[in-house]
Amino acid sequence: MNENNYKKGIIKYKGEFNMIDLHIHTTHSDGQMSVKEILDKAKENNIKVISFCDHNVVGAYKELEGMDLKEYNIKVITGIELNFVFNNNNLHMLGYDFDWKEMSKSKYINNKSEEEIIKDENKKLEFLKDVCKKQGIKVDDNLKINKSNELASTVIKYHMMEFKENDKILDEMLGKNREKSFARGYVHNPNTPFFIDETKGLPSVNEVADLIHSCKGKVVLAHPFEYKILDGKKYIDDIFKLGILDGIECMHTRHNLEQVEYIKDFCKKNKLMITGGSDFHRESKQRLGYGVNGTVPIDEEYLFKTF
């Protein structure tokens, strides 16, 4: 392994093959596992470098301050996934290796109380339940969100799957294995009745990039091929032309091998770094340390490699 491929401050581990995961969510946003549970699982799976990239919050790093990480032998790199608006779409940017305490002062960090977050998500859930009924999809009127890490789009998806009567329509919407994203395909898609416009009040792409850079971090475009409403290649090109990127997330659960190679070639041509992460939220959806639908291990090649 060529150490010159890795940015200053990122440690090198000995051995021919070490797994990493630079995109993990915890219960501080919409993940289903705690910081400690993720650390335990990473240790169990011999994953040597990780990053918690919760949505618009840095609570995981405040929690880490009170923990002894020596027993894990894992390098934790600061990370965050920030929402931004671009061409009227709600999209995501990853930030890495930044000063999280400085980041926490930003107006773009979500400092809402747990009660406020739950209230907001229940409002969205009521809307989605109403649309389901109009579309002939069975749901329980009493369905509610009780935890701040539960998103309305996720809760309603798994709730719909509980009813056998919904199988036929869900086969069409989500695939027979239910592998398709309800949030990306429907809730964030203005061409569907489930659409919820969440762009109001979001920063621009330049504003989130400026924030990350002001905290001495790296700006990485998150999973560009995940969005169903975008042409991934054009999206990459459009954001690159703004001159704000340090890298692009290459290996990802929802990227296929052809898309991974496309991003590698693009980054090589344009002297950008590549990263890789599972975008882990829960074990039923993603596999920690793996991309391409949980089939390809994420190794050191995706640890901020530049060409």
The domain ranges of the chain are 3-108+203-305, 114-187
What is the block-wise mean pLDDT of the chain (307 residues), using blocks of 10 residues? 33 58 97 97 96 97 93 96 96 98 97 94 98 98 95 96 97 92 92 95 97 98 94 98 98 97 98 98 93 96 93
Is CATH 3.40.190.170 what the domain over 3-108+203-305 is classified as, yes or no?
no
Q: Measuring CA to CA, how many Å separate 241 from each of 156, 238, 247, 262, 293?
A: 37, 5, 13, 17, 29
pLDDT at 66: 86
Q: Measuring CA to CA, how many Å separate 197 from each of 29, 75, 183, 209, 232?
A: 19, 37, 12, 22, 21
| Residues 6 or more apart in contact with residue 218 via CB below 8 angstroms | 7, 95, 96, 97, 98, 212, 246, 247, 273, 304
